[in-house]
Amino acid sequence: MQVKRTGIVALSSFYIIALLVIGELLLYKDNRESSRNKRSIFTRTNPGNETDLPLIFVGGVPSSGTTLMRSMLDAHPDIRCSPETRLLSWLMLELKEWHRGEDETHRLAEAGVVPYVLDTAVTKFMLQIIKHHSTPKSFFCNKDPLLLLDMIYLKKLFRNAKFIYMVRDGRANAHSLVSRNVTILGVEPTSYRTMLQFWNRASLQMYASCNVLGEAVCLPVHYEKLVLQPVQTTKKIFEFLDIDWNPEVLHHERHVKETLSQFEFLTDQVKKPIYLDALTSWFGKIPLDVERDMAKIAPMLKILGYDPNNREPNYGEPDDFVSGIVKY
Ligand code: A3P
C-alpha cells in the first residue's frame, strides 16, 4: 500500500501544515471565488487540451472508506477509477524532495527547471498513468487516498478536477489502521494515540484544502452517511460531479471484480454489498488513557462533526434501501 512511503507526510508537524495551508489559502483566494461562481465547470471546455479533462480524485485518510467509494463510482457506466496507482502519491513526495530548500529550488531554476516546466512534466506524467492504467470510459477517476493532501496543487494542474474527500470518525479510522497493522512511516502501528495524531494532521490539511477550493470543487463525504444513506449520499455526489446518477452505483459488488487488483487491501470487504458492521467495530477497542485525552489528541473530530466524548455514537438510521424495504 502507498501508505508506507507517503507516511513521511505523517512526520510533518501540525504547525508546518497549518502554515502551508494558510499560504496556499492566500494563493488560492481568487481561484476559489471564481470556482464558486461556476457551478458547472465539470465539463470539458477544450477537448484538445488535456489539462481540461474533468478528472475525479477520490481520497482521504487511508481506511476511511476510499475503496468502497471508488468501487461505487466504478459501478457507474461512464466512470473509471480502478485500483490505486501508488505511483502518484510517491510522485508528490518526490516533488517535495526536489524542492527541499531554497538553495535547491534556486539551483533548479538556474538550470531552467522553472515551475512551469516541472508542472507541465508532472501533468503529463499523471495523465499518462491515470488514462492508461485501465480501460478508458467517459470520465477518468483516480483513487490514491493521500493525494488529497495535495489537492490544491492538483487543482492548479487540472483546472476541471473535482475532489471527493472521504471523512470517517477518526476513532474508527485509527482502529481500522491499527487492527490491520497498516504501516505508516513515523507512526507506531500498534499505537492508537500516534495513529489518531496522524489522522488529525492529515484531516486538518485535507479539510482546510477542501475549504480553500470551495464546494463546487471539493465534496467531503462522510463514510457513515455513505453506508447508512447511500441513495441520498450518492445522488448528492453525482449532482456535485454533474453526471447523471445511476442506481448501479448502489450495487458496486456486481461490478467490483472487474476493477480489483489482487494486491488491494480489503478485497473481501468491497466484494460485499454495503454493510454496517464497520461503523461500530471500534467500540471498546481504544485504550482508556487515549479515550480520556481524545479531544486534545484529535481536535479535528469535533470540527468534522464527531463528539470526542461520546464513546458509542449513533451515526443515524439506515435508509430504506439499506434496510431492504426499497429495491433499486
Ligand atoms: P474497517 O477496517 O473498519 O472494517 P479504505 O478502502 O479507505 O482503506 O477503507 C476501509 C474501510 O472501508 C474498512 O473499514 C471497510 O470495512 C470499509 N468497507 C469496505 N467495503 C465496504 C462495504 N462493502 N460496506 C461497508 N464498508 C466497507
What pLDDT shows up at residue 266?
63
- Report which ligand 1 atom has the smallest distance to the Cα of 227: 25
40, containing H or E segment: none
* Tens-digit pLDDT profile for residues 238-296: 999 999 999 999 999 999 877 777 776 666 899 999 999 999 999 999 999 999 999 99
Summary count for the chain: helices (H), strands (E): 15, 5
Instruction: Count the Cβ atoms, other than its own, within 10 Å of residue 50.
Output: 15
All residues at 6 or more sequence positions from 151 whose CB lies less than 8 Å from its CB, including other chains: 57, 59, 163, 165, 206, 209, 210, 213, 218
Please give the domain boundaries of the chain with CATH numbers for all domains: 8-310 (3.40.50.300)
Mean pLDDT on 21-38: 42
Asked if pLDDT for residue 169 goes beyond 50, the answer is: yes
Confidence tier at 236 by pLDDT (50, 70, 90) = very high
Predicted confidence (pLDDT) per residue in 81-119, tens digit: 989 999 999 999 999 888 888 898 899 999 999 999 999
Distance CA 41, CA 118 (A): 26
Write the single-letter amino acid at 67: T
Atom 6 of ligand 1 has which residue's CA nearest to it? Answer: 67
Residues with CB under 6 A from ligand 1: 62-68, 145, 172, 176, 180, 227, 265-266, 269-270, 272, 274-275, 278, 281
**Ligand 1 center–CA 143 separation, angstroms:** 14
Nearest residue by C-alpha to atom 1 in ligand 1? 176
Distance between Cα 65 and ligand 1 center (Å): 5
Q: Supply the pLDDT for residue 14.
A: 47
The three-class DSSP label of residue 248 is helix
pLDDT of 25 above 70:
no
Separation of CA 169 and ligand 1 centre (Å): 13
Q: What is the model's pLDDT at position 327?
A: 95
Q: At what angle do helices 14-36 and 192-213 cross, to 10 degrees?
A: 30
Q: Bridge-partner residues for 219, per DSSP? A: 164
State the catalytic residues: 84
CA of 275 relative to ligand 1 center, distance in Å: 9
The residue whose CA has the least distance to atom 11 of ligand 1 is: 65
